[in-house]
Structures are given as structure tokens and as C-alpha cells.
Copies of this chain bind each other. A is one copy, B any other.
Amino acid sequence: MLEIEVKARADHQQVKELLAGMGANFIGVQHHCDTYFNAPHRDFANTDEALRIRSVDGRSVMTYKGKKLDTVSKTREEFETEVDGGNARSILLALGFYESGVVKKTREIFKYGNMTICLDSVGSLGEFIEVEITAESDIEFHSKQIFSFLDKLGIGKEDSIRTSYLEMVLEK
């Protein structure tokens, strides 16, 4: 499964007004505590992979993201499974994986057609928008759709950020 995703900085107040005008559906708010792990046998900072346990309001999900598949969006191969967060962490640590960082954020989620729009407030990093389409293929087609949508929110292709929140947090 592919996650075709574009991220940019955004003024949430302004974006919410535009989303309301378009008739986008508000889905809900989530509080994420994301723990990222690195591997004992290769450095995910070099391979551009990610392994994460996300805790969302009591539930935990383990996600693997492969390296980015194109040069403009953040499209990656992605697999995820709900887990017992504490035990999944213990399994990873026992296998030699280690924690590389923690990202805490509040995510407001909207749906518009086949797109999921996330307005993320990430600790000291500020406000962001992530627009995602989940698909089996057709990266280019779906990327175009996302950029065309972002354009209506006043966000251009040149505003796209491919740096992960983890990288931004670690750079601070």
C-alpha cells in the first residue's frame, strides 16, 4: 500500500476557513505520541526508512515506512498494525532496535473526497498541513491531485516539506 502525502507549513485558522468553504468534513482530533526507532543493522537516517509506535488516545499502532519513492511528495511504502504499545516496544528493544526520538502533536483530521487532511500542531515546531491519499499505485496522478488541492489553500509546490517531524525535532 502506498501513502501519497504532501506536507507544508500552514496557518491553521486560515486553512480551516477555506476547508469549511469547500465543504470538507471534520473527522476529529487526535493526540499523538510517536516514538521512533532506529535499527541495529542499518541507520534509518541514511536509508530514509521509519519505524514508529504511535500512541493515540490509549491505542497503539506500529508503522513501517519505506524510503520516499519520488522527488516532490513524501510517498512511501507503508505497513501498519495495531499493537500492545508497551510489549511491541519491548520486542523492538530486545531485537536490538533503539529509540531515536519522540514527537508529540495534536492532529485535527478532515476528509475531502479521497483525501485526508491533517492539521498538525507539533510541539515547538509550529503548525503544518499534511494531505494524504492511500492507493495501490499511480503516484504521479495522486500527487497532482494533492498539489492542485493545496493550490486552492494558497500553498504552492515550492512550500512542500519532505523533512519528517522527527528530523525537525532532532535538528532543534
Give A93-147 interface residues, CB cut-off 8 Å to B. Answer: 94-96
- Cβ A87 vs Cβ B80 within 8 A: yes
Q: Chain B residues near A79 (CB, 8 Å)?
A: 87, 90-91, 94
What is the CB-to-nearest-CB distance from A160 to chain B, in angstroms, rounded to a whole number?
Answer: 25
Q: Chain B residues near A80 (CB, 8 Å)?
A: 84, 87, 91
Q: Chain B residues near A91 (CB, 8 Å)?
A: 51, 62, 64, 79-81
What is the CB-to-nearest-CB distance from A132 to chain B, in angstroms, rounded to a whole number?
Answer: 17
Q: Chain B residues near A90 (CB, 8 Å)?
A: 64, 79
For the complex, give the distance between the alpha carbons of A138 and B26 in Å: 53
- Candidate in A41, A79, A88, A94 with the most chain B CB atoms within 10 angstroms: A79
A15 contacts the other chain (CB 8 A): no
For the complex, give the distance between the alpha carbons of A39 and B39 in Å: 11
Chain B: which residue is nearest A64 at the CB level? B91
For the complex, give the distance between the alpha carbons of A88 and B87 in Å: 14
What is the CB-to-nearest-CB distance from A68 to chain B, in angstroms, rounded to a whole number?
Answer: 14
> A residues touching B (Cβ–Cβ < 8 Å)?
39-42, 49, 51, 62, 64, 66, 77, 79-84, 87-88, 90-91, 94-96
Can you list 9 A-B contacts (CB < 8 A)? A41-B96, A51-B91, A51-B95, A64-B94, A64-B95, A79-B90, A80-B87, A81-B84, A82-B84
